[in-house]
Structure 1
């Protein structure tokens, strides 16, 4: 993000244009443009387009590296979705569209690793809307239909997750539940369970944890044919909701069940791509978070710290989020200096990430440790 800010500033100065003059050519204020160029405000694709048009500089030149996540997001916004392209070609669609959609879901899901929900949500919304339109209006055979419905269900899960990260909780709930319908129509029980458990995770964080626990357990019960890693993921959501509900025994039993489920994985069992991120480090982070909720912060801190140290730096949102839990663990253990240091590290890691979830979490921990929000 700092590199992008510097490129915007350099492009403006190379064009001999002042901030005031640039503001006059765009609908953005001079103070906002100054914050963008100094890296103090998150830069969105919309900002880059405005600079490109006002300065007559190609968007690609402003983004720099073709691997820049925001550049990838911008290019997605400008390109036509596979569903829209196939729908324009005729009402009958075949396996090739299903394959394209499956590939697009994977790409979008991995973009979520490096882009905050505030920047990713318009891409996923559009992709989901176009895919739903094809499913509702086009014709296809049964096999293609099941694949299309599964892709819609996976897009709905991602859209709900991204909307929740952006603080759009009502939208997240709506798309999660619409995705459950698609997954059930596709006969994909584990995906329906993933959607329901994702909603339970949101409810545990911003709603009634007791209701979240009930929903999470229902997701596990409904996904009877879940593979080991999927089952471990669904059980993690049960553990978190149980911890938020102050159910100590239930949380401990479920965390043990998570370990058992994950240990049962095998090379002979094909797992869905959407559990690619669940590994022992993630399991330790969730266990640590649950321990903090249960009043055992001293046991939690080493688990989370060890896991965070293994993360790639480009996964900045997760690194920042997990460092806030380290800060909370220190704070609840009475080590306020260490807590404030960990919170500073979290802020640094998450600088420029457009995530309401992260911003809210930082504010909550800042109040806990007595630091400025």
Structure 2
């Protein structure tokens, strides 16, 4: 299905890494310079911006639930319209809000491209999002963009770059971020440590995330970080423990299973993409623990959940699960699960 090392090499080649990436982002905390280019007079008003922001919010909700798919074309079309509006001379408050809309649309486009495996295109949109957040004066969303770029680096096996990006994000919001944003950044930090084999640092960063999230009740934060709750923390932690369990299943597989089950119990099928990823992770935990019956059952749930989302990442993770189901003497339920995976991936 997919050779993991070959896929990692291909993705890494498609994305900018190292100094070429990091040095270009160092200035994100400096004040934005004025744009003196001549422009036409703009005609947008507050009501227009209200509608644009509502649309942008809907796009982010779609992406979080289902993955990009056909909705990415709608996001790119809206992004083009906003860019055209910024070519006009808008009033200062309108222009700042327009930059904020562009940041969030570009962030959604980046996540959708990344989910589809288009690494370089995702990186380009992340850069646009960071520049737009900078122009809008929105350091919190800028930190969120850097966290997305860090996640991308982790998927292409560059954990040191990911850690640098997370630290750059944390530097920008250290005294102003709310508890959910702080917790999310700590989980990206923990992810990088896990990928580097730094187990103690991983557990320390995870505790920081738990401590930050424990104070989130009643704190007002931007809508785009509301998804990060105890279910998301459990799912992310379980996924990182699963990463560790692939090299040491006796030490980490049971803990990974426990965290993923907690995520499944809390967020349910409405979070389509995350729900599918949880079931895939739980199936792999069961295979690593030697629980063949549980693995087959979880794989059936995973395929059913995957069929309800357009996420390329979900299908890639299913392909990584497939080798566990291959073998001459596998039980009938595992063979059935294997056939379901094959049928879904062949569509």
TM-score range, shorter-chain basis? 0.7 to 0.9
In the alignment, is residue 223 of structure 1 matched against residue 179 of structure 2? no
Determine whether 1:291 maps to 2:241: yes
1:351 aligned residue (307, 315, 333): 307
> Does residue 100 of structure 1 match 2:51?
yes
CA-to-aligned-CA distance 1:326-347 (integer Å, 9 cap, x gap): 0121122232332232122101
In the alignment, which residue of structure 1 is the partner of 2:113?
163
Distance 1:352 1:259 in 2: 31
The runs of at least 4 aligned residues of structure 1 exceeding 6 Å deviation read: none
1:243 alignment counterpart: 194
Asked if the contact 2:272–2:308 (Cα under 8 Å) also holds between the matched residues in 1, the reply is no
**Structure 2: distance between partners of 1:208 and 1:114:** 27
Q: 1:218 to 1:369 in 2, by over 3 A?
A: farther
Pick one of 281, 293, 302 that aligns with 1:325. Answer: 281
TM-score, normalised to structure 1, is 0.71
Which structure ranks higher in relative contact order (CA pairs < 8 Å, sequence separation ≥ 6)?
Answer: 2
Shift of the 229–114 alpha-carbon distance from structure 1 to 2, 3 Å rule, reads closer
Uncovered stretches (5+) of structure 1, i.e. residues with no partner: 1-88
1:148 to 98, 116, 124: 98
Q: Which residue, 108, 125, 134 being the options, matches 2:85?
A: 134
- Residue 317 of structure 2 corresponds to 361
1:183-332 → structure 2 map (5 Å cutoff): 183-224=133-174, 225-267=176-218, 269-295=219-245, 296-332=252-288
> Structure 1 residues 99, 216: CA separation in 2 closer, same or farther (over 3 Å shift)?
same
Aligned to 1:57: none
Q: CA RMSD in A?
A: 1.9
Residue 17 of structure 2 is matched in structure 1 by: none
Q: Which residue does the alignment assign to 1:7?
A: none
| CA distance in structure 1 between the aligned counterparts of 2:277 and 2:200, rounded to whole angstroms | 26
CA distance in 1 between counterparts of 2:308 and 2:212 reads 36
User: Does structure 2 conserve the Cα–Cα contact (< 8 Å) formed by 1:150 and 1:182?
Assistant: yes
Q: 1:96 to 1:193 in 2, by over 3 A?
A: same
Superposed, 1:170-189 pairs within 5 Å as 170-189=120-139
The alignment partner of 2:70 has SS state of helix
Q: Is the 8 A contact 1:336 1:369 kept in 2?
A: no
Aligned mates of 1:332, 1:134 — CA distance in 2: 53
Match of 2:67 among 116, 137, 140: 116
Q: After superposition, what is the alpha-carbon deviation per residue over 1:35-71, rounded to whole angstroms, capped at 9, x for unaligned? A: xxxxxxxxxxxxxxxxxxxxxxxxxxxxxxxxxxxxx
Task: Summarize deviations over 1:269-322 as a string: whole Å, max 9, x none.
Answer: 320010121111111111111222223010111221132133343433221111
Residues 147, 188 of structure 2: 8 Å contact kept: yes
TM-score (norm 2): 0.76
Deviations 1:229-254 (A, max 9, x none): 11111222222222222221221111
Gaps of 5+ in 2: 1-39, 246-251, 327-337, 343-347
1:192-243 per-position Cα deviation (integer Å, ceiling 9, x unaligned)? 1100111111221134122212212221222232111111112222222222
Q: Rg larger in 1 or in 2?
A: 1
